[in-house]
Homo-oligomer: A and B are copies of this chain.
Amino acid sequence: MARAGLNTERLTRAGAELADEVGFDRVTVSALARRFGVKDASLYSHVRSSQDLKTRIALLSLEELADRAAAALAGRAGKDALAAFADAYRDYAREHPGRYAAARLELDPQTARDSAAGRHSQLARAVLRGYDLAEPDETDAVRLLGSTFHGYIALERAGGFQHTPRTSEQSWPRIVDALDALLRNWPAG
């Protein structure tokens, strides 16, 4: 019989696509096998477990997201950079909801260290170079930005902003404005 030509990389990519189509939590070994027209057991030559598959999708997504954020920041500074950074995350989450969810998967510490997570905080620090923050304020500001963007995207995706006439679209740039103002006037310790 002809072979399907599976390998870890292809499975990971197909898993990411599947996540975007049906949701990250619905990515299963069985569903992925079905997509390739092979039996579940066949996937275990390429992927150790269902958890391993999900982790690989998470790592892929973190890389993609870091690439996007880096591209968005190139040549920008100050508020411009802040807005571009913010939009890079939000746009990725809208275009690739499954991958974005994957990027939020809890990784074990070692895997996290080997991931693109470090690039993400470097990029956030790059945004802050346009403002005037000394340590430890810079670290706190990085945390604030990450928290706010992630939190907003999560609440938006969960439909949390649909109960008032003001759209999520309208609030978003104003929240970026507010963060910009805050970073320019960070309170003294």
- Nearest B residue to A105 by beta-carbon distance? B158
A175-B143 in contact (CB<8A): yes
Main SS of the interface on chain A?
A: helix
Kindly provide the distance from the CB of A143 to the nearest chain B CB, expressed in whole angstroms. Answer: 5
Assembled-state Cα–Cα distance A132/B181 (Å): 16
Tier of interface size on chain A = 35 or more
Q: Which of B139, B149, B181 contacts A185 (CB 8 A)?
A: B181
Interface residues of A in 33-65 (CB under 8 A from B): none
> Which residues of B are found within 8 Å of A117, using beta-carbon distances?
160, 163
List residues of chain A with CB under 8 Å of any chain B CB: 104, 106, 109, 112-113, 117-118, 121, 136-137, 139-141, 143-144, 146-152, 154-155, 158-164, 166, 168, 170-171, 174-175, 177-182, 185-187, 189
